[in-house]
Amino acid sequence: MDTNSIEAAVRTEIETLHRFFVDWFSGRCPKTEEYFAQEFKQRFDPKFLLIPPAGTALNLDMLSQALYTRYASNPDFRISIRQVRVRRKSDHYILATYEEWQKNALASTPANNGRIATVVFHLDGKLNWFHVHETWLPQDVMDSGPYDF
């Protein structure tokens, strides 16, 4: 796979997962175990770990349980993905960074916020989310937005 194809695949995967989050939290998709497994769980390596900006690590089971219970809990929630960049690639892993901008995020403070994320994908015939570490963008950057999405 050439560099442009890798960048496109990574961008598509990041945007697709975050589109799922918006649909799930806003209640615009079916709330079934099958849908949840297909659109969310199947994207992850079983050893996945998320470190959100607050610093509390979540494994895949913890994240799945938390998400499933929050179906349709935030109808006005939106996400914009920006600045996707592949940083390194090996035969088995891809390291990338991206900005995740959230609008009307009731579970976050502030509700309109931005974070930079580092993601490691495990390559196993497809991109499997293996590790994500998120950090808040500086307050002045978050304050200036834009939140026009």
**Residue corresponding to tokens 């709330």:** 31
How far apart CA 5 and CA 68 sit, in angstroms, is: 32
Mean pLDDT of 21-35: 98
Q: Report if residue 74 sits inside a domain.
A: yes
How far apart CA 96 and CA 32 sit, in angstroms, is: 31
Expressed as residue numbers, the domain containing 20 is 3-144
With a cut of 80, say whether residue 75 has pLDDT above it: yes
**SS3 for 142?**
helix
> What is the chain's mean pLDDT, rounded?
97
Q: Report if residue 103 sits inside a domain.
A: yes
Q: Report if residue 60 sits inside a domain.
A: yes
Q: Report if residue 16 sits inside a domain.
A: yes
The CATH number of the domain where 98 resides is what?
A: 3.10.450.50
Q: Report if residue 78 sits inside a domain.
A: yes
Considering the entire predicted model, what is its pTM?
A: 0.96
Instruction: Tally the domains of the chain.
Output: 1
Strand order in the sheet with 78-89: 58-59, 44-51, 127-136, 113-123, 93-103, 78-89
With a cut of 80, say whether residue 1 has pLDDT above it: no
